[in-house]
Structure 1
């Protein structure tokens, strides 16, 4: 592996600048090795972007996104002499991380569980067999499949890719929506800078469209045992693309609903055989009380939910993840001590003309951070995935509800006018 990697103790599967920034304060210099696909590494300029991160020893190119044959990444990456943990840094590195951990005798998700979590069709089939409540569904191979399923399920449905992230390609269809147009949008949705070129043909699902509030559940799991569980309230953009508008931690739910989500997450862990790591599962609460599984990722949550958890509960969820992956002392967490929320900023599609209210927003109650990428001259696109949002605002409060109110009020002070 090279003499300059002699101090490596942690391997990241996939490049995540946010995770590496966290690890800079948790791990020694030159202790982290990033394993990334060569094409993705070049497209995202990974070698340059890791230079200013002391914890990173370097980047190794390997077929980290080849989920059909994870043994290839095991053959391509030599086991560091002092390795302590393998961490899935991105959605597309989940299976590779599990495969390397298995091969090197380290805790991890387990390759079979990781493969189920990485493919929405595999997860749907598993949930049916395990008795996990979820929407009715079927694989979709053509527009005709979508039209037939929609007609059989009340004239509404959800069309989605089986292997993407960030709501990319997800479409909500009503009875009068053009299924052919939606099919093109879903089947061509891609993120070429994030995806390797040899990932194979995409697969697609059509699902029953359920109604109800949405939540996500974040779990820290150690050897199949749930050590910590948080429930996050989700806010969604209106319209055909269900992109997150915001998150609130912790969610305020009736005790019976919270208890049922605990039960279902334990069932998901035991039925998949998930070993150690973090799970991020999304659920629709039908009639506000009956959880139905949307999807589940075997990695840290995105959209700054990990930061919201830290602000609400104290401690650091990334440090807890490292502890369970390197067989350290099991971390302990108590109930939430406060609330935290994030609101994502958007504007009407067009060219930005004016931006007002930033200073007032930053001075508003509970606001911790405001980040806006739009300025006069910026082109704002329609929000069809998480990548299309133009900024965010993070706020805290005495409870999750209070934090959510603070975030909404501060976000309302910002006006981005387009034409």
Structure 2
């Protein structure tokens, strides 16, 4: 097959976008064999006209990026390599580098995919962030948090979707938290043997959280967006809402942009999209949480398109193909998403979907829960049940519309 675009990792949402943007049979999906079987990737990819085929390769073996280069033959007319999942960032950078195509760059990708490496890099680059250390046991976590007054954050260095992330207070049991974090798994998404088995303990900062999405071309920031976030209270910081634009004061937005430029320059990130999360201590002082070298998840890309116009996926493809740099302006409207959740138990009834879809500004309502579905604890993004996506004249109005529509959906469990 002679594809022009190679995707590292299977993403149904990205393929749906590319169906509109690329010719038929122009995309080669590269996925780990185990993950491909778990997620039925061959059948699901075949539903997308843009897909030319699926090949198996060790796309998630981040400790051996040379292995992915040996495993994937360069398509004769390939124009771009796209990291379509968090676990495909290193592989995409390795292939792009080996084939002489634009991308993040192997060194930058390696830093972005390892939260401990990113912490060490941020210290050296002078980026504000929490105090931190690698932890190899519950006792090390206990010693670290005791020195900081009893509160901390515990997380794996190489997972996604808030999986295994725990916020600890002084009264929380360290051994229980350590077991919860170190045993957190996503067996359908992660190939066996590819996790590093390393964990971070960090200072727990207080303040609103935002993310910054940047389109980068040869190290230059072409476009920057700030997304406001709402997190579920409690020990598991699962994101339950996003709004674009965040509506921050201009000096705070300016400081976030300045820090993103420093992050891009210091890592040597070349071309692609960055999605960085920040805590605003005292509401004004950004501190780095983490940064992904890929398109944002949680439909943030859709929120950006609705608020700013254009298509961020098309912009990404353009910079990875060295086309004319896209031009984007400030947000012209607002867009927001609220995620749907329910108490654990068996779903007995669902109501309010029609009313929700007919609410002000609503663009989309999706719910996976049905009568008879078993709802588990809300411990990561994978445990959410659906979402409501809405627009408005401003980000604040869009957020109100999304929240009001989400409140109309009732999932009763017992």
Instruction: Normalising by structure 1, report the TM-score.
Output: 0.98
Distance in 2 (alpha carbons) for counterparts of 1:34 and 1:86: 10
Contact 2:66/2:94 (8 A) holds in 1: yes
* C-alpha distance after superposition, 1:279-307 (max 9, x if no partner): 00000000000000000000000000000
Q: How far did residue 198 of structure 1 move?
A: 2.8
The equivalent residue for 1:14 is 9
The separation in 1 between residues aligned to 2:20 and 2:357, in whole angstroms, is 26
1:258 and 2:241 equivalent? no
2:48 aligned with 1:53? yes
Instruction: State whether residues 158 and 196 of structure 2, in contact with CA within 8 Å, keep that contact through their aligned partners in structure 1.
Output: no
Q: Distance in 1 between matches of 2:196 and 2:23?
A: 40
User: 1:84-126: per-residue Cα shift (whole Å, max 9, x none)?
Assistant: 0000010000000000000000000000000000000000000
- Cα deviation, 1:135-168, whole Å, max 9, x if unaligned, reads 0000010000110011011110000000000000
Q: Aligned to 1:202, what secondary structure does the other structure show?
A: coil
Question: Does residue 327 in structure 1 map to residue 322 in structure 2?
Answer: yes
Counterpart residue number, 1:29: 24
Who is 1:183 aligned against?
178
Residue equivalent to 1:119: 114
The equivalent of 1:306 in structure 2 is 301
Q: Distance in 2 between matches of 1:319 and 1:166?
A: 24
Distance 2:190 2:358 in 1: 39
Shift of 1:200: 4.6
1:359 CA drift (Å) = 1.2
> What 5-or-longer segments of structure 1 have no aligned partner?
none
TM alignment of 1:247-286, pairs within 5 A: 247-286=242-281
Determine the C-alpha separation between the residues in 1 that align with 2:232 and 2:23: 41
Residue in 2 aligned with 1:402? 397
Paired position in structure 1 for 2:388: 393
Counting only pairs closer than 5 Å after superposition, residues 118-197 of structure 1 correspond to structure 2 as 118-197=113-192
1:87 aligns with 2:78: no
Runs of 4+ in 1 over 2 A off after TM superposition: none
Which of 338, 347, 362 is matched with 1:343 structurally? 338
Cα RMSD for the two superposed structures: 0.7
The 5 A counterparts of 1:201-212 are: 201-212=196-207
Alignment of 1:91-110 (within 5 A): 91-110=86-105
Please state how far the C-alpha of 1:357 moved relative to its aligned partner: 1.4
Q: Distance in 2 between matches of 1:198 and 1:176?
A: 34
Counterparts of 1:304 and 1:200 in 2: how far apart (Å)? Answer: 26
- Match of residue 359 from structure 2: 364
Matched residue, 2:214: 219
State the TM-score, normalized to the length of structure 2: 0.99
Correspondent of 2:232 among 231, 237, 243: 237
Aligned length: 414
Matched residue SS, 2:21: coil
